Structure 1
Amino acid sequence: MQIYKVGGAVRDRLLGKPVTDIDWVVVGATTEEMLAKGYRPVGADFPVFLHPKSGEEYALARTERKNGRGYGGFIFHASPDVTLEEDLIRRDLTINAMAEDDQQNLTDPYHGQQDLEARLLRHVSPAFAEDPLRVLRVARFAARYAELGFTVAPETLELMHQLSESGELEALTPERSWKEIARALMEDQPQVFIEVLRECGALKVLMPEIDALFGVPQPEAHHPEIDTGVHTLSVLEQAARHKQPLTVRWACLLHDLGKGLTPEGEWPRHIAHEHKGLKLIKAVNERFKAPKDCQELALLVGKYHTHGHRALELKPSTLLELLQSFDVYRRPQRFEEFIAACEMDARGRKGLEQRSYPQADYLRGAATAARSIAVQPLLEKGFKGPELGEAIKGERLKALKAYKDQA
């Protein structure tokens, strides 16, 4: 039995990056031997075990053969005679197909270290094209390592393009797709993830609503970058620079989908794009079964982001409706995330990345003013039921009028 550290742990050590998760491969062992040593089996598809003390995953060396569509369409074969090289060749990228023993002696049959130095994301073998999830994974790695100068090798991009054209991407489950998308959006340069998907033709398959934004112009006075797709990527880039959470990044990606529906004859204006985009945002949310908090914020930002930009001009009654829509009294954090998404939208414009956004503090102040209304005095005056609700609303409106006058 020989045990090797493999994949990301080896890659990141060689890159000088922090190693978080460690994967291990066991060569020359049987399931019975692993169980006898106290390893606990997990999963039904292939032999993976948890270490009796560390809890880390140890997998028996295995080969795989395609026998169906999608990410799950494989037959795995694990036995003591499977070599380390045979196990590594089934991996996606050369930089993920390296192993090292407990003395840090490197096994690198597919030249992963060479590609690390060349800053290339290159597939290990033609079997790469058997797994459509790898299109998303490579795009995610491109986003993760963009700051180090990594790019996708042309021949790998071509395989990704073939996968995008083959219909295999449509076999991906929403859960697997969302897992990759969510991880990619939380990288330091998530816009690169979208760029790579677009370059290989996967974006028009997975998210045609976003792909449709490229080439759609906006008024230059408000959007010096003009192109709506370019603007969307810039907004996403700003969200990452400002360390925004996943909910905000997802909302930033989807906020302008309605502009893709504007007839060419109306360009570069996009009247009512906020409302037109809601059905598209809902469709994307449902396609990937995004978490509820991501879905809700994306819809609210899509509908109200222009309200955010015009906050200082809004009538107190409109401002109150906005606050009510977000339920700022019980869910203040969601309104904070809306403000953040609006600010990222304002900064995601060529040459305006450092602009101030006074609307943010104004909206926070409005929420504080509305929340300051106490219910108890109204109860003491005898208000109850629907009348109490109207009385509270009236007091909040007065508070917002006073706030606007003072601002």
Structure 2
Amino acid sequence: MRTDQAVTVRGALTVVVNIVIGVGILTLPREVAAKAGPNSVLATLLGAVPVAVALAALNALAPWMRRQRLERGLEGLIGRGATRVLLGGYFVFYLAFAAVIARAFAEVVNANVLRNTPVEAILLPMLLAAVYLVHHRTVTIMRAIELTFPVLLVTLVVLALATMGRANVIYVRPQLGLGLGSVLGGMADSLFAYSGYGIYLFLLPELEDRPRRRLPWLAAGTVGLIYSMVVFSAVATFGTVEVQRITWPTIELVKVTQIPGRVLERLESAFLAVWVTAVFTTVGPGLFAAAKALQALLGLEEHRALAPMALPVLYVVALLPPNFAAVAQVLMVLGWASLVLEIAAPLVLWTVAALRGWRHRSAPAPRTRPAVPNLRGAAPVRPGPGGRGV
């Protein structure tokens, strides 16, 4: 693989961050506040720690995956049978992940902007755009996502700063007297919003040969900081009790926020326009991960032809939940599945790789026998000066 066609470390960072920030940012303040209360910000920050550990474990697998097919690297670690089971699990998870995120996006747009538009008419363009994105090479997908990342980052930071004037710090002041259980419960709920970072595994075979030790902490830290700012703004504005009664606290937060000078009267319209891009960079990479998992499972050379074939399946899976409440339940199930596939699986792979590397280093070097000369037909050795043969 040529160096100029490799996935850059910066590109991998933006892909990981963008796939995580999606629909979960709208409901995260409500879900975390229901468990952690005033400790919501602390719980959200702690939720980034397991993400960083899992990404660091995947980072350690780079020597096993570098410049070879994904399935061969995994088979070298855990064997052929376990590899096929793991790839099958990743395929089902990321296919359902992309479909349900697209359906949740359609429900939010239908409820807030296009109220007379059928959900199917909102869902299908998002799926078509995701399929079109995935029908390109990995480097092309990475560069497209890199273009949208600054817009999303600046918008979220401006939103958080604009709401600081309405914030009441008392609502978000940590109260450890409530017990560690509330913090851990909020941390577990925040982990569901971090789902998707396991895509890093599918970028490793094409990642450039550069130091990447800071990538896990930068990715987890960036998402954790953005999520914490949003949770702080929502909980500090509405309070720990009121925020639990709002379906999409982030959208309501945007509605009550005013930019100085009244540059925009309906800030939620601008926010939803940027949020569409965030969902697109979540559904697209999710479908990409599903296509790469299926490619490795079937032993194909390319993933590009699999994206159009997955469109009917995506559409059917996205429409299976009858309403938004069912969509939220499916998202919770996917969140629990992500704990297995995106935290437990990388840690197991890292443990196996570490044990194999330790055994390889501790194995004694093979003893070599001294070569025995063939004396048949050999010329006699003449003694040199001092009685030594020459």
Q: Which has the higher helix share?
A: 2
Q: Which has the higher strand share?
A: 1
Give the TM-score, by structure 1 length.
Answer: 0.18
Give the TM-score, by structure 2 length.
Answer: 0.19
